Structure 1
Amino acid sequence: MKKVVCFGEIMLRLAPAGYLRFEQAQAFEAVYGGGEANVAVSLANYGLDAAFVTKVPDNPIGQSAVNEMRRYGVDTSYMLKGGSRLGIYFLEKGASQRPSKVVYDRAHSSIGAAKKEDFNWDEIFAGADWFHFTGITPALGDNVAEAVLESCKKAKEHGLTVSCDLNFRKNLWTSEKAGKVMATFMPYVDVAIANEEDAEKVFGIKAHGTDIEGGKLSHEGYKDVAKQLKERFGFKAVAITLRGSISASDNNWAAMLYKDDEYYFSRNYAIHIVDRVGGGDSFGGGLIYALKSGMSNQDSLEFAVAASCLKHSIEGDHNHVSVSEVKTLMAGDGSGRVQR
């Protein structure tokens, strides 16, 4: 298969051990991650040729981020060096009725200072057939949004399929600005991915009959959301993850796919969460792999949801699972029995 190119930010994640609160921590565990970086690692784990495009500082921390991606088989040829720093986020994992908390320290990051001229998309897209980005990347600054728009235009010139996870982050921009900026990319997008809130926060399209805080999700409401998104932007497919939050520790997890004018719903998983960061990214990675592999629409959705279900059991941002492990869960073996 031809390669998949992912463009975005990789960050240093610092977290107290286990479920300690920030105030209790005397040390922080360090890992690396980011929306598009997580997708690239998933795809590499599945055996695809995945390349990650970003900009990191030319110092040992930036090199460590490069090494992290290289370690999992991701092509790091286009992880450019420059700028002053790598973005950081601090994570306090929640439990039971106490929610997780994230504190960002990403101002003036290398990717946040990047310009569209930094990236040679003609070279980057050579040998590729899929391009993925998220709504987090253009939220880093107007200059980065310009780079994203340029990447989308070049991707279509090269005939690539383009996927976008809307990934709204209220700490980075307002809904009003997100809607205006993200709308400029949507004509180039073939596959749109969102969670229960993204369509409303970015484009004002709300799922009726849904209470996210109460864990009530309406299938009919999300069918209407997907249809409106497709009608407004002409997407070939719309995927929406459906998270029923019982508590910080336990969720119901499923998804919907609207493709070829048909609606598909996955099975629901009752998951006990070890680490939910990267859950949506693992869904995106699973969906891209399945669609590229020629799976049916229903199987593509089931693969993506099963992959993401497994991610919730894994520490860190990345989803360290194989195709065979995902297919085992798809087939109904979720017992968790020891493999000998």
Structure 2
Amino acid sequence: MAKVVTFGEIMMRLATPGYLRLVQANQFEVTYAGAEANVAVSLANFGIDVSFVTKLPSNELGQAVLRTLRQYGVDLSHICFGEGRLGLYFLETGFSQRPSKVIYDRANSVFALSKPQDFNWDEILKDATWLHFTGITPALGDNLVESCRNALNKAKEKNITVSCDLNYRAKLWSEEKARGVMSELVQYVDVLFANEEDTEKVFGIHADDSNIVEGKLSLAGYEQVCRRLRERFGFKKVAISLRESIVANLNGWSAVLLDDDDFYHSRQYTVHIVDRVGAGDSFAAGVIYGTIMGMKPQETLDFAVAASCLKHTIIGDFNQVTLEEVKKVAKGEGSGRVVR
């Protein structure tokens, strides 16, 4: 039986109601979110045994996080606790030509200040078959670079599949620091996830004939990106989500996958967006699920894109969909007609 472990920070998300701007808001909608926690919840919803590893404050906010994750059936037994604060992020949802905005308030959080010795990777990975992390985790500090390195070394010692989503965040570290750290860490990675911007920012690999600002994306260019990444780092799979931003709440959404030496691309969905945050995490979870379940590469990619397409329609970072709902969309049942 497959067991996935994800490692990273979970935060309190404070979003303005509806489409209010942050400067207008006098109240916020509270949920909890974080890239690796988002992946864990998606996989749990699909019936995968999954454990989320982090450090939480020893107070009511830490307990609120546990209660939130527990309802999805995520294993929380390897979460540790300490004195400190829970990280926050503020979200203003964009509309039309006005983009969404995120403001982080996560500096010196209990997770950001965690120590490598807080995590016993031999015990955490005891029964694991897959380890997932993102570039956000090492971006939080050199201590977490070391924690990631320890986890990756132990995963390779145990012959565990490792996946990583680059998730470059300019507000957390520079391109130069990201390139140096991630070039080392991805040496342990079997499956790499990225979007159309990450590969250029982190590794300097750009897709020819593409311009993400203008919404111009070239499949041939991204096949070249996937192959160059594989040549440089030896990944078994490279999956890249492709977003064509028409306006903030209307996007084209698709993805490509390099599996061994074969290249695949999905259909493109036109998505009217309710909440796009977490879409990349739901895509990664879909690829992980398809791979674990032995789906063929094209089926895996179609499943992952359908799952992430649905995520755009759901408020909050977690992709609160069922396996059956994703499969229906992947088969083409995406008209949005009322189900009676």
Q: TM-score with structure 2 length normalisation? A: 0.99
Equivalent runs, 1:29-40 vs 2, <5 Å: 29-40=29-40
Give secondary structure in 1 for the equivalent of 2:32.
strand
* 2:2 and 2:292 in contact (8 A); partners too: no
Give distance in 1, aligned partners of 2:123 and 2:100: 40
How far residue 2 of structure 1 moved from its aligned partner, in angstroms, is 2.1
Check whether the contact 1:212–1:244 (CA below 8 A) recurs between aligned residues: yes
The residue number in structure 1 matching 2:322 is 322
Deviation at 1:183, TM superposition (A): 1.1
Instruction: Kindly provide the amino acid, as one letter, of the partner of residue 27 in structure 2.
Output: A
Q: Distance in 2 between matches of 1:339 and 1:130?
A: 36
Deviations 1:113-152 (A, max 9, x none): 1111111111111111000000000000000110001101
Query: 5+ residue gaps in structure 2?
Result: none
Give the deviation of 1:100 after TM superposition.
0.4
Q: Structure 1: how far apart are the matches of 2:297 and 2:217?
A: 22
Q: Cα distance, 1:154 vs. partner? A: 0.5
For 1:146, the equivalent position in structure 2 comes to: 146
Q: AA paired with 1:330?
A: A
> Any residues of structure 2 matched to 1:91-106 within 5 Å, and which?
91-106=91-106
User: Aligned pair count?
Assistant: 340
**Does the alignment pair 1:63 with 2:63?**
yes
CA distance in 2, matches of 1:133, 1:72: 19
Aligned residue in 1 for 2:251:
251
- SS of the aligned residue for 1:137 comes to helix
Aligned partner of residue 222 in structure 1, secondary structure? helix
Match in the other structure for 1:293: 293
Query: How far 1:180 moved relative to its partner?
Result: 0.2
Paired residue for 1:51? 51
Distance in structure 2 (CA, Å) of the matches to 1:280 and 1:71: 22
SS at match of 2:247: coil
C-alpha separation in 2, matches of 1:231 and 1:101: 35
Question: By how many angstroms is 1:24 displaced?
Answer: 1.3
Q: What amino acid does structure 1 have at the position aligned with 2:59?
A: N
Q: Is the 8 A contact 1:58 1:81 kept in 2?
A: yes
Deviation >3 Å, runs of 4+:
none
Offset at 1:83? 3.5
Aligned-partner residue type, residue 73 of structure 2: G
Aligned to 2:136: 136
Determine if the alignment matches structure 1 residue 122 to structure 2 residue 122.
yes
Is residue 188 of structure 2 the alignment partner of residue 188 of structure 1? yes
Q: Is the contact made by 1:83 and 1:113 (CA closer than 8 Å) also made in structure 2?
A: no
**Any idea what the Cα deviations from partners look like across 1:266-315, whole Å, max 9, x if unmatched?**
00000000000000000001110011000000000000000000000000
Structure 1 unpaired stretches of 5+? none
1: CA distance between counterparts of 2:243 and 2:193?
Answer: 14
Aligned CA-pair RMSD: 0.7
Partner of 2:276: 276
CA distance in 1, matches of 2:200, 2:150: 26
Question: TM-score w.r.t. structure 1 length?
Answer: 0.99
- Are the aligned partners of 2:282 and 2:307 in contact in 1 as well (CA < 8 Å)? yes
Partner Cα distance (1:223, 1:118) in 2: 40
For the 8 Å contact 1:303–1:327, the answer to whether it is kept is: yes
The alpha carbon displacement at 1:187 in A equals: 1.3
Q: Which moved more, 1:120-129 or 1:165-174?
A: 120-129
Say whether 1:161 aligns with 2:161. yes
Q: Deviations over 1:182-227 (max 9, x none)?
A: 1111111000000001011001111111010110001111111111
**Alignment correspondent of 2:86:** 86
